[in-house]
Structure 1
Amino acid sequence: MSDREQDIEEALEVLTRVPRLGGPLGRLADLLGRVLLALAVVALVGLSLTVLLQVSSRLFLPFTVAWTEELTRYLFIYMVALGAGVALHRHRHVNVELFHGWLGFRGRAAYLTLISLLIFGFTLIVLPQAWKFAQIGAFQTSPTLRIPMIYVFYSSVLLFGSLLLYSVVGMLEGVIALVRGERAADSAAAHEVT
């Protein structure tokens, strides 16, 4: 990536200037993010192959493969559930940047803390309900694949669980940045360069 592209990305991604969480917890969050992202990519590749099989069967076979539409739906659901927490941690979620550029370092850190706190509160409320929803699937099976629906419904638990975890990480990053100030961000950036 060229310097100009990096400058443009930094201008658009104001929250990336808040230093990431370091230490064992930061490494664990990054490792979990890589695992979740790898599984989301596997789900995307599986989804693509399933759609390709579905289209090919409709064009070239005298019959259609009935289970492909259902599997495509489930893979899409899991792809989103696996990637949502990673998107939150990498600040890639949808947001409206009306005033981010005006904020100083501590303002961005406070904003990150506030947004992470709101997401934390929301997921804390929704997660028990997602678990109850997943339990409903224990007594159902999917129409064509005949798999227990608890595995499909569990995606909501995974989604809100990862959002809860990464909102805690975001709150920690924001609070630490607020306490340490911009000097810590400069020293962290200098440490990354060396």
Structure 2
Amino acid sequence: MPYSKLHDGVVTICRIGTGVAFAVLIATVLIQVVGRSILNSSPPWTEELTRYALLWLVAFGAGLSLRSGDLVNVDIVSEALPGRWPWRLRLFSALATAGLCLVLIYPAWRFTSIGVRQTSPVLAIRMDFIHASIVALLVLLALFALMRAAAMLTGRSDGYPTFNAEPRP
């Protein structure tokens, strides 16, 4: 599969996942607010579902944020350096991000596997489905960082975030 198809596919999946998680989050919070304000009683499952939707929102959105430059990035010193040093530091940053994520995947997987024996208190969802959001976050963030590094090493990118990658209001 060519790089652009892989990249576009991952971006599309992450956008859809982020949108679905955000829609669930909005609907759940709306039910909670209406329940508390108008009915004087909020369904107990809304708080739990809000937390889980937020976890999946972050899992799908972190890689997109790396891609678009929306993650915190302090580069005032590195970009002021001469020659190819800024490029080298952007490459190092992408590789370090990918490396850290790859190192953390196995412990996150072990943590997720513990959730098979647990269920959430109100919704009775197996917790491995919830804990899997951390594995997804690490895998997707590593993938986006590796795609950035690969694009830099092949000359398709200078390593700067794609600032206009996401439509802005």
Q: What TM-score does the superposition give when structure 2 sets the normalisation length?
A: 0.84
In structure 2, what residue type is equivalent to 1:114? F
Asked if 1:151 corresponds to 2:129, the answer is yes
Alpha-carbon RMSD across the aligned residues, in angstroms, is: 2.2
Partner of 1:131: 109
- Deviations along 1:56-94, one digit per CA (max 9) or x if unpaired, are 111222532010000000000100011111212233211
Q: Distance in 1 between matches of 2:144 and 2:122?
A: 35
Q: Distance in 2 between matches of 1:56 and 1:34?
A: 33
The runs of 5 or more residues in structure 2 that have no matched partner are 159-169
Asked if 1:167 corresponds to 2:108, the answer is no
- Answer with 1 or 2: which has the greater Rg: 1
Asked if 1:113 corresponds to 2:113, the answer is no
Superposed displacement of residue 109, structure 1: 2.9
Q: Distance in 2 between matches of 1:161 and 1:54?
A: 32
Partner of 1:69: 47
The answer to whether the 8 Å contact 1:112/1:174 transfers is no
Aligned to 2:72, the other structure's residue is in SS state coil
The answer to whether the 8 Å contact 1:110/1:175 transfers is no
Aligned to 2:74, the other structure's residue is in SS state coil
Q: Distance in 1 between matches of 2:108 and 2:39?
A: 40
Task: State, as a whole percentage, how many aligned pairs show the same letter.
Answer: 34
The answer to whether the 8 Å contact 2:148/2:157 transfers is no
The runs of 5 or more residues in structure 1 that have no matched partner are 1-22, 183-194
How many matched pairs? 158
In structure 2, what residue type is equivalent to 1:55? V
Q: What TM-score does the superposition give when structure 1 sets the normalisation length?
A: 0.74
